Amino acid sequence: MKLNLMDKHQEVLDKAVQALHERTFFAHYPENPLPDVYGENADKEGREKYKEHLNNNFTELLQQDPAAWVGQEESPYEQQALGVKYPYFDPETLVNRAEEAYHQWRKVKPADRAALLVEALENIKPRFFEIAYATMHTTGQAYLMSFQASGPHAADRALEAIASGYEEQTRFPESTEWEKPMGKYNLKLNKSWRAVPKGVALVIGCSTFPTWNTVPGMFASLVTGNPVIVKPHPKAVLPIAIVVAEVQKVLQENGLDPNICQLGVDADDKLITKDLAEHPKVKLIDYTGGTEFGNYVESLPGKTTFTEKTGVNSIILDSVDDLDKVAQNLAFSVTLYSGQMCTAPQNFYVPETGIKVGGETVPYEDVVEKIAGAVTALVNNPKAAPHILGAIQNPATAERVKSASSVKGREVLSTCDFENPMFSNARTCTPVIYEVDATEKESYSRELFGPVVLIIKTKNTEQSIEIAKTMAMSHGAISCGAYTTDPAVKEKIMDEMGLAGTPVSFNLTGNIYVNQNASFSDFHVTGGNPAGNASFTNPEFVIKRFTWVGFREPAMG
C-alpha cells in the first residue's frame, strides 16, 4: 500500500475490538453535528454540496464505461425528483468486474484490508453533512436523524463490522509448528491457515436507511476479502453512492482495483436485484427490506445470506413508577421518523384490568388515554414535532396509515393533519392509534409499516407476554419495550422474549428510546426470529463470509 495505513489506524482498530467485548459506550464518530467538532461551515458546505448533485450526473465513481445514466430519486419533503443520474452497468458486467477484483482483494492481508477501510471511513467523515442532506431528501428523515443515522452512527456500525472481521480473521495463528510426541521421536508438521473469502458479495439496500443498513454488510464482506456490489434502493441512492465513491478512491490511491467495491443501480426501466442475487458467482447476500423479498433471498440455493426483514415490535405494560413519563417516552418512539424505523414499536399490550402505577391501579382506559394524549401533545408541539416526524418516504405508507381499514378496532387517535413549516409540500402523517381486542389476532399479526399503533387489550400481563412472544416467533420482532416494577415479571419477560430472540428494553423514560441501538453494545436484530437471520455485529455476521482452510507439511530437520 502507498501509505502505512495499518500504523495509522491500529489504535482505533484495537479500541474498536476492545469495545466489542466490553460493550460499554464507544463511538469513534461524534454523533452531534456541532461546529466545533465538524467545522464552522460544515453544515452550510454540506448543504451546498448536496445541491450541486441535483440535476447532475454523479461522476465520482471510478467504474468505467457505463451503459447509461439513470436515476429515480424524489424528495419526500419537496415531492419532486432530485434529478441525480448514476452510471448504469448490466449485472453481468458488475459480477465479472467483481470476480476479477476478487483475485486481487483476497490476497490483501486482513489487517491491511481493515486499515484501508478505516481510512475510507475517515474520508467519509468530512462528508457527513452532505450525506445528511442526501438522506433527508431521499428517506424523509428529519435533519438530525439524517445526520446521525447516515453519518456517525452508520460509520460506527461500519467500524464495528471492520473490527469484528479483523478480529475473527486474526483469531487463529497464520502458522504454527505442530509437534506430537511419538515415543521414540517427535512428529513435526509446519501448519498454516488462511481465511479464504467466499467470493462476490451483494448488498441490497433499503429506502429508509440507505447507509446505516447497508454499511455493516458492505464493510463486513470487504474486510473479509470479498468484492462487493452495493445495490441501493432506487429511491435512496445518493447517500450510499458517496460512501462507495470514497471507498473506491482509497482503493485506487493504494494501487487496488476500485471495482472491489461497486455501485450497481437499477436502470429506470429494469430492476437488477434478482439478476444479481441469482448469479452463480454471487456467494454472499446482505439484504434489508420487506419480508417477502427477504424470504426469496434466504431461499436462494448456494448463497450465504444476511437478512433484516420486518417484524411486529411490542410494548408490554405491566407496572410503572410514573405513567406520564412512560407515555411521553412511548409517544416519542412511535412519532420518531413517523414510525418508519424497523425498531419502532407497534403492538402495545395493556391488561384489561389496568396497570399498577406506583402501587395504585390505573384502569385500562386511562392508560390508553394517557398514551393518546402524549402523542397528541407531541405532534402538536410545533418546536419539536417537525424535527421528530420528518416526512413519509413512500406514498404507499401514507396511504396505508390513512386507511388502515383492515384493523378491526376502535380508532383512538386519527392521523395526518400535520404541516411541515419548512417544507410546505412535505409528505407527512402523524401516528394513528387503534384499540384492538386480543382476540382479533388477524389485525395485529403483521407489520403495519409507518406510524400505526395498536393497543391490544389483554386479560393480564401473562397473556401480554404470551402474545408478544408468539408474534415474535411467528412474524419476527426486532425490539420489545417492557414496563414492570416486579422483578419476577421482568425475569419472565426476559426468559420468554429471549426464547423469541427479541431484545428487551425495560422501563425506558427520558431521552432513551426502544428504537435506538448503540453500536459496539446493542446487537441489532438477533437472527433468532423471522425478522432476520443476521445480527449487527455478532461474530456470526463476519465469520460466515470466509472459510478457514489449513495446510500442513512435515517440518524439515
Binding site for a copy of itself (CB under 8 A): 21-25, 168, 171-173, 176-182, 187, 189, 191, 193-194, 196, 198, 494, 497-499, 501-512, 518, 521-523, 526-528, 535, 538-540, 543-544, 547-554
Compare residues 208 and 526 and give the one whose CB is closer to a copy of itself. Answer: 526
- Distance in angstroms (rounded) separating the CA atoms of residues 519 and 523: 8
Question: Of the candidates 186, 199, 49, which has an alpha carbon nearest to the alpha carbon of residue 127?
Answer: 49
DSSP 529: B
Question: What is the closest distance, in whole angstroms, from the C-beta atom of residue 12 to a copy of itself in the complex?
Answer: 19
Compare residues 3 and 512 and give the one whose CB is closer to a copy of itself. Answer: 512
Q: Is 448 exposed, middle or buried (0-12, 13-18, 19+ CB in 10 A)?
A: buried
Question: What is the closest distance, in whole angstroms, from the C-beta atom of residue 49 to a copy of itself in the complex?
Answer: 28
Helix (H, G, I), strand (E, B) or coil at 29: coil
**Residue that has been written with the C-alpha cell 451503459 in this structure:** 67
Compare residues 126 and 498 and give the one whose CB is closer to a copy of itself. Answer: 498
Q: In 10 A of CB 355, how many CB atoms?
A: 23
- Distance in angstroms (rounded) separating the CA atoms of residues 270 and 477: 32
Question: What is the closest distance, in whole angstroms, from the C-beta atom of residue 187 to a copy of itself in the complex?
Answer: 6
Amino acid at 107: K
Q: What 3 state SS string does 217-244 have?
A: HHHHHHHCCCCEEEECCCCCCHHHHHHH
Compare residues 271 and 549 and give the one whose CB is closer to a copy of itself. Answer: 549
- Distance in angstroms (rounded) separating the CA atoms of residues 160 and 521: 10
Compare residues 242 and 514 and give the one whose CB is closer to a copy of itself. Answer: 514
Question: What is the closest distance, in whole angstroms, from the C-beta atom of residue 398 to a copy of itself in the complex?
Answer: 33
Compare residues 223 and 455 and give the one whose CB is closer to a copy of itself. Answer: 223
Question: What is the closest distance, in whole angstroms, from the C-beta atom of residue 428 to a copy of itself in the complex?
Answer: 29
Question: What is the closest distance, in whole angstroms, from the C-beta atom of residue 102 to a copy of itself in the complex?
Answer: 10
Question: Of the candidates 339, 334, 359, 364, which has an alpha carbon nearest to the alpha carbon of residue 349?
Answer: 364
Question: What is the closest distance, in whole angstroms, from the C-beta atom of residue 232 to a copy of itself in the complex?
Answer: 29
Longest Cα–Cα distance of the chain, Å, equals: 88
Q: In 10 A of CB 67, how many CB atoms?
A: 11
Compare residues 91 and 199 and give the one whose CB is closer to a copy of itself. Answer: 199
